[in-house]
Chain A
Amino acid sequence: MATLTHDAPPTSTAHEPGKRGLWSWITTTDHKRIGILYGLSSLFFFLVGGVEALFIRLQLAAPNGEVLSADAYNQMFTMHGTTMVFLVVMPAAGAFANYLLPLQLGARDVAFPRLNAFSFWVFFFGGVFLYASFFLGGGADGGWFGYAPLSTQIDEVVRMDYWALGLLVLGVASVASSINFVTTAFTMRAPGMTLMRMPVFSWMVVVISFLLLFSLPMVTVGLVQVFFDRNLGTLFYDAASGGEPILWQHLFWLFGHPEVYVLILPAMGIVSEVLPTFSRKPLFGRSFVIFSGIAIGFMGFGVWAHHMFTSGLGPVAEAAFALTTMFIAVPTGVKIFNWLGTMWGGSLRFTTAMLFSIGFIAMFVIGGLSGVTHSIVPADSQQHDSYYVVAHFHYVLFGGAIFGIFSGIYFWWPKLTGKLLDERIGKWHFWLMLLGFNLAFAPMHFLGLNGMPRRTYRYNEGLGLDLWNLVSTIGAFLIAVSMLVFLWNWWRTARKGTRASGDPWDGRTLEWSIASPTPEYNFARIPTVEAEDDFWHRKYGEDEEGNAVPIATAEEVSDDPEPPAGLHLPSPSYYPALTGAGIFVTLMGLVYLPWGLIPAAVGALVILWGLFGWSMEPIVKEHH
């Protein structure tokens, strides 16, 4: 079945000299390396955003906190939210999607390897740009959803310019990634892999790609308007001159609510891969999980105004959005039962990955239920902008997305590194994080319902808020301890971890049919797919009662260990990183109009240079 006919020297591997060093990472077009770059950036920003959270909790640990000034507090919660959403969970999803999508589809790379590198570098420079503002006038301080007129006040320097342009360019990176993932999933599946045979995680990547494609342009328009209001004197959000601050809320949440599903669906995809593996059963109602994911994608565009119930939309709009919000809980709830049904009657193995997945289900149910309470408009009017909301979205985004991501980290770590993370330390990590998480965020339900508003940097004694705030702070530091445990696990595994085989978990999908760590070429032979969970069905048949019976060992049905001959992988290119750097220079210039137009023009020339070089160079160079 190989169509490779040309003679060539043995394919180089990641361990070959000349493929190491910083330059090889900057110029890489390998989806696996780009995935790792996304993952490392995401982890770095997770630690930064976590430190910001610790500052917030220190400030609120006791009444009349003295740790932060009001101004510093504003910067902390704004950058904490912005970081966790745009620089942690989204790139973490990008890391998994980059690394796994081609492997799960049976492909050698994504459709556009250099566009993929471009996405990463734009994301990277966008993150650096957002954080640069801390050193050039202070971090963004208008809240992570930057409501006008907080975002358009121009009397205080350039903070929200950095924020608006930073988010805008992160959106460009995401749109480029989304185009890439959609094209990859639609054109690069291995022979026999129909759409419905595509692994659930890959399906969720397709769904979030479409969500991003259709939601990001709307917030892009909003961000451009904010930037122009600040710098050119336009009147979009200036209520005194006929502008409409509420237009920003619509544009933001038209993006912001689909974005919520962008954050959670990858975790749902991860959990849908982990649970079947450690239950030794196929995912219960597999096609239903896929279709409810698609349904969430569609319905996600029809619920945005439930973020705006207190902004005076009128009873008709409020009733309509209350109903759509209740409806969207249905496909989400369906998945919970799919996962429980998958575990029911399975032979369960409680590995760390499995524990994080089960933790995901439990925490996400709590967060989902408190979310449904927001759909009741009168109740929401009470909860709005209180700590109850903070509790809710941390249960879905931390208890949901982050737990799912850690489940994926423990699950796929051997595929990335060839070594298994230590299970004993991993379980310490899980239980500490679960305990810390619930200590930190469960009390916020009480605080919110007792009237504590979010984004307030101090509270007085004697309001009944002291105890639960202290508990919450203790929980936050316990989460920090659990992260140290994870880092320790990483360090220890790197030094003396157990070597992993290609298929350490008795896996089900194609990525387990190849060696660990993944060879540079992914598959020596492109597999032919004959079933859902194809690799599992190569290993196991069924007896008369439908029980799994081994028919082959993993080694027998795995990919060839010999590298393929005559294979040419996409060559490295520095143009994507160069273009990204050009965008960075342009943005820096735009913050400081009008004289900044000079650096902005220089940056634009660099972008043009990068794009032309990129389109002129061959994808696979003849000589190394």
Chain B
Amino acid sequence: MATEAVLVEEHPDVHHQRKIAMWTFLGSEVLLFGSLISTFLLFRNRTLGGPTAEDVFDIPFTSISSFVLLMSSLTMVLAHHSATRRDWRQMRVWLFATAFLGLTFLAGQVFEFTVFVEDGLTVTTSPFGSSFFLLTGFHGAHVAVGVMMLLSLAFMSMSGKLHPERGMNVELVGLYWHFVDIVWIAIFTIVYLLQV
């Protein structure tokens, strides 16, 4: 049987389908984080006598982990650049670097959360706590999914199973990763910097 398939007459954008789909999905995600941030802004001062933003936030620490996440966007760009040059070995190096930076950020978030809990701020302490952990938790989950996709790409590439023309490819994961990064810039500004 033939191995090639031509499904449709070609529309000029037919090769960009997955990219259009990813952009559409990210557009939807904007509203998700928008609603989470709105919830946080509504509850930012409802601390019920529990810890306030000033009490718990450690701006220097979070600045460093934010810097780490921002740098991961740089390595993501380099991974994509290597992929376009079809330099798969270098692409894997940058993918692992991006995943490592993402994991570092997540480790920072886990550490930060444990400190907050020790300071007496949990999801049940106050609406402030509920909305803070929901927002940053959703973002952390997005980073975790991104790390999984990065590692999948890297390992699939190592075993020669990465087919750029189907499923996820470096460009799509890159779009997602940059989006999650940009959301963190908004969160870091609104939730951390503006509250202390």
- A and B bind: yes
Tell me the A residues contacting B by CB distance below 8 Å: 1, 3-9, 107-109, 111-112, 175, 178-180, 182-183, 186-191, 213-218, 220-222, 224-225, 228, 232-236, 241-244, 247, 251, 254, 526, 566-570, 612, 614-616, 618-620, 622-623
Q: Interface digits, B13-57 against A, CB 8 Å rule (1 contact, 0 not)?
A: 110110011001101110110111001001100101000000000
Indicate if the CB atoms of B28 and A228 lie closer than 8 Å: no
Residues of A within 8 Å of B20, CB to CB, are 182-183, 186-187
Indicate if the CB atoms of A217 and B5 lie closer than 8 Å: no
The residue that B11 contacts in the complex, of A1, A189, A216, A619, with Cβ under 8 A, is A189
Residues of B within 8 Å of A247, CB to CB, are 39, 42
Residues of A within 8 Å of B29, CB to CB, are 217
Q: Decide: A221 near B127, CB < 8 A? Known: A187-B11, A187-B13, A247-B42.
A: no
Q: Which of B58-66, B76-84, B110-118, B161-169 contacts A (4 or more CB under 8 A)?
A: B161-169
Q: Is B130 an interface residue (CB 8 A)?
A: yes
Residues of B within 8 Å of A217, CB to CB, are 28-29, 31-32, 34-35
Q: Output the nearest chain B residue to A218 by Cβ-Cβ distance.
A: B35
Indicate if the CB atoms of A619 and B5 lie closer than 8 Å: yes
Inter-chain CA distance A4–B21, complex, in Å, is 26
Indicate if the CB atoms of B7 and A108 lie closer than 8 Å: yes
The residue that A4 contacts in the complex, of B6, B14, B168, with Cβ under 8 A, is B6
Is the interface on chain B under 10, 10 to 19, 20 to 34, or 35 or more residues? 35 or more
Determine how close the nearest CB of chain A comes to the CB of B96; give it in whole angstroms. 19
Determine how close the nearest CB of chain B comes to the CB of A130; give it in whole angstroms. 22
The residue that B2 contacts in the complex, of A220, A254, A568, A615, with Cβ under 8 A, is A568
Q: Decide: A186 near B9, CB < 8 A? Known: A225-B39, A232-B123.
A: no
Q: Decide: A187 near B16, CB < 8 A? Known: A217-B31, A221-B35.
A: yes
Residues of B within 8 Å of A612, CB to CB, are 152
Residues of B within 8 Å of A8, CB to CB, are 1-2
Q: Decide: A179 near B124, CB < 8 A? Known: A186-B20, A236-B39, A242-B43.
A: no
Besides the known contacts A188-B11, A214-B28, A243-B46, 12 further A-B residue pairs in the complex with CB atoms under 8 A apart: A3-B9, A7-B2, A108-B7, A179-B28, A183-B20, A186-B13, A218-B34, A236-B130, A242-B127, A247-B42, A254-B35, A622-B3
Indicate if the CB atoms of B127 and A232 lie closer than 8 Å: no
Determine how close the nearest CB of chain A comes to the CB of B95; give it in whole angstroms. 16
Q: Interface digits, B93-131 against A, CB 8 Å rule (1 contact, 0 not)?
A: 000000000000000000000000000000110110111
Determine how close the nearest CB of chain B comes to the CB of A178; give it in whole angstroms. 7
Q: Is B8 an interface residue (CB 8 A)?
A: yes
Indicate if the CB atoms of B9 and A190 lie closer than 8 Å: yes
Inter-chain CA distance A217–B24, complex, in Å, is 13
Residues of B within 8 Å of A222, CB to CB, are 35
Q: Is B134 an interface residue (CB 8 A)?
A: yes
Inter-chain CA distance A80–B36, complex, in Å, is 30
Determine how close the nearest CB of chain B comes to the CB of A227; give it in whole angstroms. 11
Indicate if the CB atoms of B46 and A242 lie closer than 8 Å: yes
Determine how close the nearest CB of chain B comes to the CB of A267; give it in whole angstroms. 24
Q: Decide: A111 near B17, CB < 8 A? Known: A6-B4, A568-B5, A619-B166.
A: yes
The residue that B21 contacts in the complex, of A111, A244, A569, with Cβ under 8 A, is A111
Residues of B within 8 Å of A244, CB to CB, are 42-43, 127
Indicate if the CB atoms of B7 and A241 lie closer than 8 Å: no
Determine how close the nearest CB of chain B comes to the CB of A169; give it in whole angstroms. 15
